[in-house]
Every structure is written in structure tokens, then in C-alpha cells.
Amino acid sequence: MSFHFKLRRLTGREIRFLCLLAIVAAAAWWKFAPRPWHATSTRSTAHFEIASTAQPDQIERVGNILELLYAAYSNKFSSVPTFQHTHPKLKVRLYKSRDEFRKVNPSVGWAEAFYSRGLCHAYFSDKEANPYQWMLHEAVHQLNHEVAGFDLEKWLEEGLAEYFSCSRIRTNELAVGTIDLNTNPVWCAMKLQRQQVLKPISPTATSSHCALS
Ligand SMILES: [Zn+2]
């Protein structure tokens, strides 16, 4: 079977329409395409490889926090059959600031970090009480996918990420199950509660201990 197409000359109106379409597509691509980025240093920890433009001491702090997450996550899930006890280092891209993160990734919208194609993107900040929440959230997605081999329902995937990332960071551990009141949506819920927009559902609802454990 063969097909024969007869090409005809485009009209001026059609050519103008195609040119306009190409300009709109190019503008959309330029608006949302990731910008070039080059790390100024790279640091390896036991389980992560961090490429970054942040200061060396900031990269070291983030590396330590990520390892606390890894230890806490392993404590919970290392007995799962799909858990990979040996794996390539988990790749992290740590931007030096929120401005740089948003400039390089103009399509991120409201996200403060993201995990995509084997790379966890996050930025360093010392302006917040808990500047690690967003990167820990995304690192949990990375661990679910690359280490534990989980294929979870969306609610459980996000719930696990929140469970770990909203936990309190202590000197040598991520105290999983103890909520850090400086993480979102906890502080947001407390603010709404103070404004009496939200009411506690039980006398224990304001407890600093997470119901999950
Ligand atoms: Zn998530």
C-alpha cells in the first residue's frame, strides 16, 4: 500500500500563521526552559553527591542533614525486599540561593525544590528557621524511587515525604515522628488556628508529636 501526497504552495496567510506559531513556541520555550548552570564545587558524602554553587561550609551542612535523613529512612525501610543496600550516590544540585534556583529553573512555579530525572534540585537558605524542609521532602522522593524501589500511590508518596521533612532535626539525628513546628504546613495550620480559621479537632491536635510513627 502506498500513499501519495500532493504538496501545494502555502498561501501568504498560512505562512504568516506558521511564522506566528513559531515565534510563540520559541517564546514559550525561552520562558520555561532551564538555563545553563555550572557547579563551582562538588562534595561527596557517604550516600550523596552534591554539585553546588553554595559556600563549602553550607554544602557540608546540607550534606550532613541529607545523611541524617538517609539514616532515618534506612531505619524505617531497610528491611523492605526492594531496598537497595548498595547503589550509586544520589545526585543533588544545591543552588547558592533561592534567586539562582528560580532563575535557572523558570518553570518551577511555586515549588521550592524538586526531584526530576535522578536529580534533586534545592537551594541553600539561612533566612528560615528550618531551611532544609523542601530539600528533605524532595530527597525522600529520590530515596523512594532510587533506593527503596517504591511505587506508591500519590497520597502515600507525598505523605512519606512530609512525614520525614517535617520532622525535627537534632544534633545527630532526624527525630522522625516529632514535628518541627517551623515546617509548612504545620506553622501555617497553627497560624490559621490562632486566627480561629481552623479549630483543633481534638485536645491532642496541637501536640508536638506526630500521630504517625
Ligand atoms: Zn512531593
Structural domain harbouring 157: 41-178
Instruction: With respect to residue 125, please indicate whether it lies within any of the assigned structural domains.
Output: yes
Q: How far, in Å, is the centroid of ligand 1 from the Cα of 97?
A: 20
CA 186 to chain centre: 18
CA 21 to chain centre: 33
Q: How far, in Å, is the centroid of ligand 1 from the Cα of 34?
A: 20
- Of 188 and 72, which is predicted with more confidence? 72
Instruction: With respect to residue 145, please indicate whether it lies within any of the assigned structural domains.
Output: yes
Which residues are 78's β-sheet partners? none
- Of 206 and 11, which is predicted with more confidence? 11
Q: How far, in Å, is the centroid of ligand 1 from the Cα of 64?
A: 21
Domain with 70 in it: what CATH number?
Answer: 3.40.30.160
Q: How far, in Å, is the centroid of ligand 1 from the Cα of 61?
A: 22
Mean pLDDT calculated for residue range 24-43:
85
Q: How far, in Å, is the centroid of ligand 1 from the Cα of 137?
A: 6
Instruction: With respect to residue 200, please indicate whether it lies within any of the assigned structural domains.
Output: no
Q: How far, in Å, is the centroid of ligand 1 from the Cα of 53?
A: 24
Calpha distance 59→120 (Å, rounded): 14
3-state secondary structure at position 179:
strand
Q: How far, in Å, is the centroid of ligand 1 from the Cα of 13?
A: 46
Instruction: With respect to residue 153, please indicate whether it lies within any of the assigned structural domains.
Output: yes
Which residues are 179's β-sheet partners? 167
The closest alpha carbon to 78, from 133, 141, 143, 142, belongs to: 143
Residue list, CB under 5 A from ion ligand 1:
158, 161
Single-letter residue type at 195: Q
pTM of the model: 0.79
98's CB contacts (< 8 A; 6+ apart) are: 112, 123, 125
Instruction: With respect to residue 70, please indicate whether it lies within any of the assigned structural domains.
Output: yes
Which residues are 168's β-sheet partners? 175
Instruction: With respect to residue 77, please indicate whether it lies within any of the assigned structural domains.
Output: yes
Split into its structural domains, the chain has a count of 1
DSSP state string for 79-123: TSTT--SS-PPEEEEEESSHHHHHHH-TT-TT-S-EEETTEEEEE
Check residue 190 and give its pLDDT: 66
How much of the chain, in percent, has pLDDT values that exceed 70? 84
Q: How far, in Å, is the centroid of ligand 1 from the Cα of 2?
A: 50
Instruction: With respect to residue 121, please indicate whether it lies within any of the assigned structural domains.
Output: yes
Instruction: With respect to residue 118, please indicate whether it lies within any of the assigned structural domains.
Output: yes
**Residues 65-78: tens digit of each pLDDT:** 999 999 999 999 99
- DSSP 8-class letter at 205: T
